[in-house]
Amino acid sequence: MRTALAEKAEFTVKQNPAFPSIYYLVSAGDGRTRLATKNLHPGQRFYGEEVIHIRGEEYRVWSPYRSKIAAALLRDLHYLPIRPGIDLLYLGVGSGTTCSHLSDIVGSSGRIFGLDFAARPMRDFLENLAKRRENLFPILADAREPGSYRILVPEVDTIYCDVAQQNQTEIIIKNADTFLSGSGWILYAVKSRSIDATKKPYSIYEQEIATLEARGYRVRESIDLSPYELDHAMVVAQKAGA
């Protein structure tokens, strides 16, 4: 795959103070800032992302228009329960664009269990990404039925949900009840139009947050993802009492 490869010295690297595995690459030429992760396996690229080498390190540019977590970070997300060494269950992993950056973050000591029910994206995820990264474990299954893959997934620290289903909140709650550790976290991309296209997005966000809290999950943060993703919000929650 041909990708843009920048071999330039005119970038300043800044770490996110709250999330040290997240980087901002600031161009001295135009002042533009790029969100990035440090490549876990230098030389590997996955979906045409820009790659920038700075002082012997390789950074993969993370577009907020192709990843809802990247969009949330650029919208000043304060809670990101994804860090080196954790176990993560990713519902709706698709072909792995966002997952490739999360793989950089959790590192070689972490594990990501990437689940999708669609065979074609899962094949791409397996062939293009999971076979090349030892911290990724692909699962072809339906997120609505966590019992069907219970044997494949251990207790996890965090669950990220990015599924386009009308009952998406119920899906993440069922998985959290099944797999999440006692102090675990939920990271949830709420797709308001998938839930009810006739209602205002903010009323949908409030409705789904109320459902999470009623089921024992304390919502820590909710961020609208506009202008990067219209009618989407990122919700971060933790098990109540944690």
Q: 208 by DSSP, 3-state: which? A: helix
pLDDT digit string, tens, across residues 15-55: 999 999 999 999 887 778 999 999 999 999 999 999 999 98
Among residues 78, 79, 35, 83, which one has the least CA distance to residue 60?
35
CATH number of the domain at 5-61, out of 3.30.200.20, 3.30.465.10, 3.30.30.10, 3.30.460.10?
Answer: 3.30.200.20
pLDDT of residue 214: 94
Contact criterion met (CB below 8 Å) for 99 and 91: no
Angle, helices 168-179 vs 201-214, to 10°: value is 30
Signed CA dihedral, 174, 121, 230, 185: sign only: positive
pLDDT of residue 176: 96
Helix or strand (DSSP H, E) at 174:
helix 168-179
Model confidence at 180: pLDDT above 50: yes
Question: What are the two backbone dihedrals, phi and then psi, of residue 107, each rounded to the nearest 5 degrees?
Answer: 70, -170
The CATH H-level superfamily of 68-239 is Vaccinia Virus protein VP39 (3.40.50.150)
pLDDT of residue 2: 39
Mean pLDDT of the chain, nearest integer: 91
Domain ranges for the chain, please list them.
Answer: 5-61, 68-239
The answer to whether the predicted template modeling score (pTM) of the entire model surpasses 0.85 is yes
Interatomic CA distance for residues 211 and 206, integer angstroms: 9
Q: What is the DSSP letter of 44?
A: -
Interatomic CA distance for residues 212 and 208, integer angstroms: 6
Neighbour-count burial for 32-68, b at 16+ CB within 10 Å, e otherwise: eebbbbbbbeeeebbbebbbbbbeeebbbbbbbebbb
Question: What are the two backbone dihedrals, phi and then psi, of residue 53, each rounded to the nearest 5 degrees?
Answer: -100, 130
